[in-house]
Structure 1
């Protein structure tokens, strides 16, 4: 009789546990459905900001950011039918090599993911293993990430051979709406390799066009000047004419940009929707954002992440200071970082645009300004 009662209790307990698990999974699925893709990415960005100070090893980066990133893309990281960690494929003479994750969609490996530590600069990273696996596994997308930046590769140049350069880069610390739209194409529920390849090709040519225009803007070539001159110069375009028109062509780029920028600023002041403008140095001087300025910016983002999505806090560098703005809006300054001189200080603004100087000994002292920063960001967000 005692044995029978124990068995009944065990069956009852098991039934209760199963029911509780079903309910828990249902809640998780419901919460996931309620949160938009934008919100899940913003939440991941908050996690990345917090993790970058402590997740210094590759394994820690994978656990803290990379696996949550795969969940943002709609994959169950604990289901080996979707995500295979430490995936092994023997490649010729190389036996037992592992790729960090192989990601399946409809029983086919579509993504191969190689993760580096959060402190790794992806420009310096070695990822030859990702190239080899891409070919051997017939995957469509290769992903290289340090948790903060995610680079996407495919085979636009030659079939089944991963391109040397990524067709899309997503930065969790600095993304916009267009980046989000591109990233969402990699979600499990949105996945279409044809759509991704079309987008990849467009992005590739867009980047190439931008590089060409920027190069001609900085230093117009003879060929480009001749091409432009054909449209308005009546005489023969000799070498002397080209040299005379070269500085005029460069100035035309500058003036055209300033006119467009002025139109957008006027439109914003007239009540229209303000567009994000790049920072331009009026004297054409090269502006370099220092590691200390980036650390200061990330600290402000970390404080802001308690109230708003981190992408609403934007860095805009200048020669004498580095500005941190809300919504990339000059009329919503948060603070200015003055780190170029011998003594470091910041200029902190309030809701009335009044500024106060705060001297700091090290970048981490910015955390002491948490309360006024939260107050100002909360005011801008309201």
Structure 2
């Protein structure tokens, strides 16, 4: 099922990349790039009770903000989408999206996009306070080239109309943010293993007492082991034969 969705997402992204050159302003971006993705996720863009353009947070005295699209559930906004012209920097409008997000108590997810790059935000730390970091992001240019991470596939599937759960998206976003941070930490350790980390690994293989003079060699060895592990996983993913290498 994931592979089927992955292929559909790739095909969709290829189509979006092909029409992107004709999106010369924000309105064209909304019409030809953003609305198709909303529809791809299963929401009825022809139903104003489900996808509402220029939704206003008029229930707030503090904020009088609009978002380009709000996805509604039971006539209440649950997803807010802010659009920029294709190629425009997204960071400039994060504050505007945050203001709307914070003003609308039923909104559980905010999206900012230029039609190609998408950033998804939730309130994983505090209710109705948009997180500073996106829990999911992708670029349709990469997707069209087949560069589709499993985390993107799983994340986007959870946002489909048939799967989206507004009440649990915050917890899911928290899990994804922690996962992203763990991946970053592992990547940093793979590139530059710290001495405490190497000592833990050595203890696990029975080397409890390592002299400081020998530690430099073990750090280099650990870095090589990380590299070998990654190479083996790539070969397994490609279903290619592996050689039994030992250092």
TM-score, scaled relative to structure 2: 0.80
Post-superposition shift, 1:53?
A: 1.2
Q: 1:94 and 1:61 mapped to 2: Cα distance?
A: 26
Q: Deviations over 1:170-203 (max 9, x none)?
A: 4333333833443132222322235544543332
Matched residue, 2:21: 53
Matched residue, 1:167: 135
Post-superposition shift, 1:111?
A: 0.2
Residue 204 of structure 2 aligns to a residue whose secondary structure is coil
Q: Which has the higher contact order (CA 8 A, sep 6+)?
A: 2
Matched residue, 2:33: 65
Q: Does the 8 Å contact 1:99/1:130 carry over to 2?
A: yes
1:188 aligns with one of 161, 166, 169: 161
Matched residue, 1:218: 191
1:137 aligns with one of 98, 104, 116: 104
Matched residue, 2:180: 207
Q: 2:13 and 2:38 mapped to 1: Cα distance?
A: 13
Q: 2:104 and 2:20 mapped to 1: Cα distance?
A: 32
Instruction: Identify unmatched segments of 5+ residues in structure 1.
Output: 1-35, 271-382
Q: 1:251 and 1:269 mapped to 2: Cα distance?
A: 20
After superposition, the Cα gap between the structure-2 partners of 1:64 and 1:233, relative to the gap in structure 1 and judged at 3 Å, is: same
Q: Does the 8 Å contact 2:198/2:222 carry over to 1?
A: yes
Matched residue, 2:119: 151
Matched residue, 2:55: 87
Residue 47 of structure 2 aligns to a residue whose secondary structure is coil
Q: Does the 8 Å contact 2:122/2:169 carry over to 1?
A: no
Counting matched residue pairs gives 232
TM-score, scaled relative to structure 1: 0.54
Q: 2:196 and 2:126 mapped to 1: Cα distance?
A: 31
After superposition, the Cα gap between the structure-2 partners of 1:261 and 1:41, relative to the gap in structure 1 and judged at 3 Å, is: closer
Instruction: Identify unmatched segments of 5+ residues in structure 2.
Output: 243-247
Post-superposition shift, 1:244?
A: 3.2
Post-superposition shift, 1:237?
A: 3.9
Matched residue, 1:244: 217
Q: What are the within-5 Å matches in structure 2 for residues 293-372 of structure 1?
A: none
Larger radius of gyration: 1
Matched residue, 2:245: none
Q: 1:262 and 1:188 mapped to 2: Cα distance?
A: 36
In angstroms, what is the RMSD of aligned CA positions?
Answer: 2.8
Matched residue, 2:201: 228
